[in-house]
Amino acid sequence: MPISAAQRAALLTATTVLLAAGCTDGGDGAADATKPSGSGVSALTSQKLSWAPCPPPSAAEGGGAAPSPLPGGTVWECSFLQTPLDWSVPEGETIELALIRARAKDPSRRIGSLIFNFGGPGGSGVTALPGFAGDYETLRGRYDLVSFDPRGVGRSDPVECATDKELDAYYALDFTPDDEAEERTLSDAQKRYATGCEKDAGPALPHVGTENAARDMDLMRQVLGDEKLHYFGISYGTELGGVYAHLFPSNVGRAVFDAVVDPDAGVEDGALGQAKGFQLALDNFAQDCVDRGDECTLPGSTVAEIESFITDLLAELDKQPIPGIGDRKLTQTQATNGIAQALYSKEYWTFLEQGLDAADGGDGSILLNLSDSLNGRSETGSYSNIQAANAAINCVDFKERYTLGQAKERLPQFREASPVFGDFMGWALASCSQWPVPGLWEHPDVSASGSAPILVVGNTGDPATPYEGARSMVNALGKGVGVELTYEGEGHGAYNSGDKCVKTAVDGYLLDGKVPTSGTVCK
């Protein structure tokens, strides 16, 4: 059956966010930051933000309606922060970053601002925060909730690489080529995509990386009037938070990292870890199907039989796509994306089961809907810039440049890690092969000696940021900084799972400064 608009919105995760909110880039209802007088960082730190009610989100943010008031009538406010295009030349050209906030419920007990990054990279924080705000209502008791579109994302000088029509064709491509002709087709498409990104972003493209975003956050802290940065990072937001802690350890206040990216992993190790993580989540989905017996509509009485059905279905789609939505067909690539999207949360396993069953019967609409959510495609056919920003930020951050040939050589280990996702993640190593801007690091430095404690929350069933990354982050932050909390659950992230143990620990730290015992396990 088709997924409703409400269900589709609920499927959006910390990595792919299209929930309704918004700021605007002047003239549409949100206020510009007051232009600082003088030049350099001192002038930027003295700028005054002009807050105004948020208008509907831009197309690059995903479209939709303006955010509704919070319980009690609090209105979402938006503004823009002026920040240097190039932090090595702080007195040079500036760009605008879109911000959103909801004021604290109890101003007399206000701690400060709590800044969120919901992941991606490439996710719009301006659209995500109102969508997830219900989960953070307790924290709003003592914090102004604040988020932003990082540079290159949403309304913050977004990187856009192709038209909507071109993106429809691009995402329908075969990203697991079977012969030299398909390899050439993929290589040519990746080249056109990278060229489009460069043409659109121009001189801003080299400056969209994580280190610059971390420096933007410290400027944000100062302009918001906070002595310390209180921070909640999810998924890629944990990497951004770790880089911030490394650059500004003495400025870290109360910080939480949830769904933790492994800071020690380069491109290849990170992709291999994700292949294993998504495979584990698929194993758990299949086991749940087995446990439900005849209630499960998928063929097979064992995990192996159900997963064999899935691999056979994907192989058939590689040969012949099936009807999807309108005149768009469901391809093997889109079906695999749809499966991955549904594995981000156990709540949406029912959509995955329905989608696989429908596709087996020749109806690809549910899996295509899921794939569209992952790629940032709205029901009207327009795309947010989440995937373009994701590519731009990752390719600027990481040095490695794998050719298609080098990616092909590594396919056996990826196939061993995951029969379903291995090929896709193995070939994806070549995503930055033709990127016009060099990368910065092999992996980020997050060592943060002298920082306040950072609560690091790992989820044993997380598909996108495998559990092992939390321990790596704790170790990399350094002795006395990382505090490890384990959640034995499913899905991407822990705080939004509804688990009372996790929520009590996180709220206790952020609201009252109570640091839980490192190694605490929530079941």
Q: How far apart are CA 148 and CA 157, in angstroms?
A: 12
> How many C-beta atoms lie closer than 10 Å to residue 250's C-beta?
10
Q: How far apart are CA 122 and CA 384, in angstroms?
A: 10
State the burial class of residue 134 (Cβ atoms within 10 Å of its Cβ: 0-12, 13-18, 19+).
exposed
Assigned token pair, 160: 């856009």
98-120 in b/e burial notation, b at 16+ Cβ within 10 A? bbbbbbbbeeeeebbbbbbbbbb
Q: How far apart are CA 474 and CA 446, in angstroms?
A: 10
* Alpha carbon distance, N-terminus to C-terminus of the chain: 34
Q: How many CA atoms, within 13 angstroms, populate the side-chain half-sphere of residue 385?
A: 28
Q: Which amino acid is at 393?
A: I
* Three-state DSSP class for residue 441: strand
379-404 in b/e burial notation, b at 16+ Cβ within 10 A? eeeebbbbbbbbbbbbbbbbebbbeb
Residue in 516, 436, 464, 443 with CA at minimum distance from that of residue 274: 464
Task: Give me the tens of pLDDT residue by residue for the chain, a chain 523 residues long.
Answer: 333 332 333 333 333 322 222 333 333 334 433 444 445 688 899 999 999 999 999 999 999 999 999 999 999 999 999 999 999 999 999 999 999 999 999 999 999 999 999 999 999 999 999 999 999 999 999 999 999 999 999 999 999 999 999 999 999 999 999 999 999 999 999 999 999 999 999 999 999 999 999 999 999 999 999 999 999 999 999 999 999 999 999 999 999 999 999 999 999 999 999 999 999 999 999 999 999 999 999 999 999 999 999 999 999 999 999 999 999 999 999 999 999 999 999 999 999 999 999 999 999 999 999 999 999 999 999 999 999 999 999 999 999 999 999 999 999 999 999 999 999 999 999 999 999 999 999 999 999 999 999 999 999 999 999 999 999 999 999 999 999 999 999 999 999 999 999 999 999 999 999 999 999 999 9
Residue 462 annotated as catalytic: yes
pLDDT of residue 4: 33
C-alpha angle with apex 231: 92 to 278, nearest 5 degrees?
A: 105
Residue in 480, 391, 482 with CA at minimum distance from that of residue 439: 391
**String of DSSP letters for 313-359:** HHHHHHHS-EEEETTEEEPHHHHHHHHHHHTT-GGGHHHHHHHHHHH
Active-site hit among 235, 345, 378, 451: 235
pLDDT of residue 11: 35
Judged by phi (left if over 0) then psi (alpha if -120 to 50, else beta), residue 189 lies in: alpha
pLDDT of residue 37: 41
pLDDT of residue 42: 82
494 in Cβ contact with 522 (< 8 Å): yes
Residue 492 annotated as catalytic: yes
Residue the block writes with tokens 């604290």: 104
Furthest C-alpha separation in the chain: 71
Q: Which amino acid is at 264?
A: D
Active-site hit among 397, 492, 497, 507: 492
Q: How far apart are CA 317 and CA 336, in angstroms?
A: 10
> How many C-beta atoms lie closer than 10 Å to residue 88's C-beta?
8
**String of DSSP letters for 363-416:** --HHHHHHHHHHHTB-TTS-B-SHHHHHHHHHHHHB-----HHHHHHTHHHHHH
Confidence (pTM): 0.92
State the burial class of residue 450 (Cβ atoms within 10 Å of its Cβ: 0-12, 13-18, 19+).
exposed
Q: How far apart are CA 460 and CA 471, in angstroms?
A: 11
pLDDT of residue 41: 80
